[in-house]
Amino acid sequence: MSESTVGNIDTAVLTAKEKLDAHTYEMVQWHFHESTGSPFWLSKKSELSFDPLKEVRGFDDLKKFALFEDDWLRGGPVRRWVPKGLADRPTYVFETGGTTGVPKSRVVIDDFRIDYEMFSETLPEEFFPKGANWLMLGPSGPRRLRLAVEHLCQHRGGICFCIDLDPRWVIKLIKKGWMEHLEAYKKHCIDQAITILNAGHEIKCMFTTPKLLESLAYGLAEQETSIQEIGITGIFSGGTEFTPQWTRFCVEELLGGPTEDSGVYMTPTYGNTLMGLACSKPVTAADDYKISYYAPQPRAAVEVVEFDDHTQVVDYGATGRVKLYTMTREFFVPGFLERDEGEREMPFAKFPWDGVSGVRPFHRLASSTTVGVY
């Protein structure tokens, strides 16, 4: 790296940080002002030992807040999460969890569209051509992903086909040990996908999870075809099962080889209903298929923090727990400890802020985490 490049990145990092600070200030003013904030945060304000309107000037001041507890999202009334400033807007509620008990609910107005339109800008046109039709081979039902992928497709001028997939049932099957039923359900989903792919709809792009992508490849192989042969050129995927080795296996053996040979491009992503969507740095064989994610700053940010002190960011390359921040006009999360861990990554030209690589279930919780098809 030349000296001038280093200088450019330093400048970009500084600019990004200034932007993050300014955005943080603006969002805290919005969420804690009596005229615009949500009933939830306005009520929380009275419990704080500081005045967020006066004492949060930048991103680092968010550490004055206690950690966000996702249990707050369970149960109603759901309206308490809608900022007064957006109260007259049509509102969605998206759910996460809920295999047993009350799911976590997040209200959304435009965030999913904005996040996925931003993500759209990162997709290479060659493999995700404008106007191409998509297949959403992922969870359906009360989930953000379902509508978000459809919007992404529509935003790019295509029409999105979907299948029915209930991840709560999948997790129940795994927990009950009903593996034959699990396989049958997976096959049911894959059969739907293959039927659509074979139906002449000129589908070129898709969202899917790693496990479903594998199953789709095997299902197509049984019909003596492949993801490449059936015409898919761009795959957007997500999940913590994205290890470098799995990605290599997928690229080399399921997709027909590296993009330049196969003409199939896959981009891993990391995200959830709370934060949105983090993009990955391009994944290459030369870099041993290392996967590094970067949050869509300043609307969301990711830190890698010490396991026993979430206020301390670990050194670059060191391992810690993933901490998320979300700051949009619709939703405010001033620090949430994800159920994942990973290594802190350096900023780079495209994303001049910290990233996280090697994302995997947090080792102290891993044994209690059930990873399904999604």
Among 221, 223, 365, 370, binds other proteins (CB under 8 A): 221
Is position 242 an interface residue for other proteins (rule: CB under 8 A)? Answer: no
Site string for other proteins, 119-138 (x = CB under 8 A): --------------------
Q: Give the residue with the Cβ less far from other proteins, 206 or 217.
A: 217
The contact pattern for other proteins, residues 177-216, with x = CB under 8 A and - = no contact, is: -------------------------------------x--
Per CB under 8 A, does 243 bind other proteins?
yes
Q: How far apart are CA 200 and CA 178, in angstroms?
A: 35
As beta bridge partners, residue 203 has 133
Q: Which of 311, 371, 283, 302 is nearest to 341 (CA)?
A: 302
- Give yes or no for a contact between 282 and 334, defined as CB atoms under 8 angstroms apart: no
Work out whether 229 is an interface residue with other proteins (CB under 8 A). no
**Closer residue to other proteins in complex, CB, 214/345:** 214
Binding-site size, other proteins (CB under 8 A): 13
Binding other proteins by CB under 8 A: which of 218, 223, 261, 315?
A: 218
For other proteins, which residue of 40, 119, 289, 362 counts as binding (CB under 8 A)? Answer: 289
Best CA proximity match to 273, nearest among 135, 189, 374: 374
Exposure letters 251-283 (e unless 16+ CB within 10 A, then b): beebbbeebeebbbbbbbbbbbbbbbbbbbbeb
With contacts defined by CB under 8 A, name the span among 167-175, 194-202, 248-256, 271-279 that binds other proteins.
248-256
Exactly one of 245, 260, 349, 367 binds other proteins (CB under 8 A); which one? 245
Q: Quick one: which of 242, 246, 325, 336 contacts other proteins (CB under 8 A)?
A: 246
Per DSSP, the residues of 193-236 read: HHHHHTTT--EEEEEE-HHHHHHHHHHHHHTT--TTTTT--EEE
Q: Which span (65-73, 246-254, 263-271, 328-336) binds other proteins, by CB under 8 A?
A: 246-254
Q: Is 139 helix (H, G, I), strand (E, B) or coil?
A: coil
Token code pair at residue 57: 């000037």
Among 45, 181, 248, 310, contact with other proteins (rule: CB under 8 A): 248
Position among 51, 164, 288, 309 found at the interface with other proteins (CB under 8 A): 288
CB atoms within 10 A of CB 366: 14
Task: List, as one string, the DSSP characters of 166-203.
Answer: -HHHHHHHHHHT-HHHHHHHHHHHHHHHHHHHTTT--E
- In terms of CB distance, is 161 or 246 closer to other proteins? 246
Query: Which stretches of the chain bind other proteins, using CB under 8 A?
Result: 214, 218, 221, 243-246, 248-249, 253-254, 288-289
